[in-house]
């Protein structure tokens, strides 16, 4: 390939890239991901933190315009699932990576050419929206039936310490390693 042909090819690619960067699929995806704090850009993009995205559009934007989108997509879907129209049957590669992230598996297959290790990093990345917790720090709902005597003791401890009843139970459970098992049973 001679010099003129190479220059022409580069100009054509730059023109196509400029066109793709104005595409609504890219702008909406980047607007959402930058608003949530997963990506940063120097482009002037309207931040859209409440946008619901189609996975097909996000994949298009990641494959054709900005590969970093593909890097953060599995963690974004896992942590911000209500904002995506994710269908595990239609998006098998994404479903597989999400399953590995949820386990969490130390190693996995590449996601559209992006190493699993790079994808995994975004799972614990702090988001701008402090309400969205890191997956491993999300609290899970568990209900118990306790004797009235135990509930009264829990309420008393809560009032004395100024902590919630849940915090008291959590601290007691986490201290079990310090207590011998025979004392508990």
- Dihedral over Cα of 173, 179, 183, 185: its sign: positive
DSSP for 79-131, written as a single string: HSGGGB---TTT-HHHHHHHHHHHTT-S----BTTB-HHHHHHGGGPPPSSTT
Task: Give the separation between CA 29 and CA 65, rounded to whole angstroms.
Answer: 11
Question: What are 119-168's pLDDT values in tens digits?
Answer: 888 887 877 766 656 655 666 677 878 899 988 988 898 888 888 888 88
Q: Taking the domains of the chain in order of start, what are their residue ranges?
A: 3-137, 148-184
The DSSP 8-state label assigned to residue 135 in this structure reads G
Question: Residue 184 pLDDT more than 60?
Answer: no
Prior bond of 156 cis (ω within 30°)? no
Question: What are 12-31's pLDDT values in tens digits?
Answer: 887 877 888 888 899 999 99
Contacts of 133 (CB under 8 A, 6+ apart): 139
What is the per-residue pLDDT for 32?
Answer: 93
Contacts of 86 (CB under 8 A, 6+ apart): 55, 77, 94, 95
The tally of CA atoms less than 13 A away on the side-chain side of residue 31 is: 20
User: Please, which residues bridge with residue 83 across strands?
Assistant: none
Question: Residue 185 pLDDT more than 60?
Answer: no
Question: What are 71-112's pLDDT values in tens digits?
Answer: 999 999 988 889 999 999 999 999 999 999 888 788 888 889
Whether 75 contacts 123, CB under 8 Å = yes
């Amino acid at each position: 390939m001679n010099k003129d042909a190479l220059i022409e090819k580069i100009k054509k690619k730059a023109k196509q890239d400029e066109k793709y960067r104005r595409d609504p699929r890219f702008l909406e995806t980047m607007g959402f991901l930058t608003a949530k704090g997963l990506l940063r850009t120097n482009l002037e993009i309207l931040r859209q933190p409440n946008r619901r995205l189609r996975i097909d559009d996000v994949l298009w934007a990641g494959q054709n315009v900005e590969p970093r989108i593909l890097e953060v997509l599995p963690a974004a879907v896992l942590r911000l699932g209500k904002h995506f129209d994710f269908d595990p049957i239609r998006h098998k590669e994404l479903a597989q990576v999400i399953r590995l992230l949820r386990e969490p598996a130390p190693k996995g297959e590449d996601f559209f050419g992006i190493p699993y290790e790079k994808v995994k990093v975004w799972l614990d990345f702090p988001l701008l929206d402090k309400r969205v917790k890191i997956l491993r720090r999300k609290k899970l709902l568990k209900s118990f039936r306790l004797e009235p005597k135990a509930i009264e003791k829990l309420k008393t401890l809560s009032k004395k310490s100024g902590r919630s009843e849940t915090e008291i139970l959590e601290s007691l459970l986490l201290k079990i390693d310090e207590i011998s098992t025979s004392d508990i049973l």
